[in-house]
């Protein structure tokens, strides 16, 4: 669980900004535990828009069961997707 706590409004604001900037199908580096330096990040692709679950901003990604907290995605190592792209 991430250390950062969000109010419902903060989480929704984070989700809105994420969805405005990134499209479904964008590739990120995902780290299952952001607090451990020796955990290796793996590439993942989003398969949903981000949404709020239990006041936390999350998204579904390939290769991971369940929702992933947005704090666990490295947005600096992204393979961008065109905003008009539609990914089934």
Give me the CATH number covering residue 72.
2.30.30
Over the stretch 16-29, which tens digit does the pLDDT of each residue have?
Answer: 999 999 999 999 98
Tell me if 87 is assigned to some domain: no
Tell me if 88 is assigned to some domain: no
What is the C-alpha separation between 55 and 11, in angstroms, rounded?
6
Q: Between 83 and 6, whose confidence is greater? A: 6
The number of folded domains in the chain is 1
Tell me if 26 is assigned to some domain: yes
For 2-11, which contacts have Cβ atoms below 8 Å and span 24 or more sequence positions? 2/34, 2/56, 2/69, 2/71, 2/72, 3/35, 4/71, 6/55, 6/56, 6/57, 7/55, 8/52, 8/55, 11/52, 11/55, 11/56, 11/57
Tell me if 47 is assigned to some domain: yes
pLDDT band of 88, cuts 50, 70, 90: very low
Tell me if 22 is assigned to some domain: yes
pTM recorded for the entire structure = 0.77
Domain extent at residue 30:
8-79
CB 1 within 8 A of CB 44: no
Q: Mean pLDDT over residues 31-41, rounded?
A: 71
């Amino acid at each position: 669980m991430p250390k950062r706590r969000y109010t419902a409004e903060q989480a929704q604001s984070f989700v809105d900004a994420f969805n405005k900037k990134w499209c479904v199908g964008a590739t990120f580096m995902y780290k299952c535990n952001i607090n451990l330096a020796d955990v290796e990040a793996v590439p993942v692709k989003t398969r949903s828009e981000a949404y709020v679950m239990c006041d936390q901003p999350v998204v579904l990604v390939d290769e991971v069961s369940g929702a992933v907290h947005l704090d666990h995605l490295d947005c600096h190592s992204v393979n961008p997707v065109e905003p008009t792209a539609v990914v089934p």
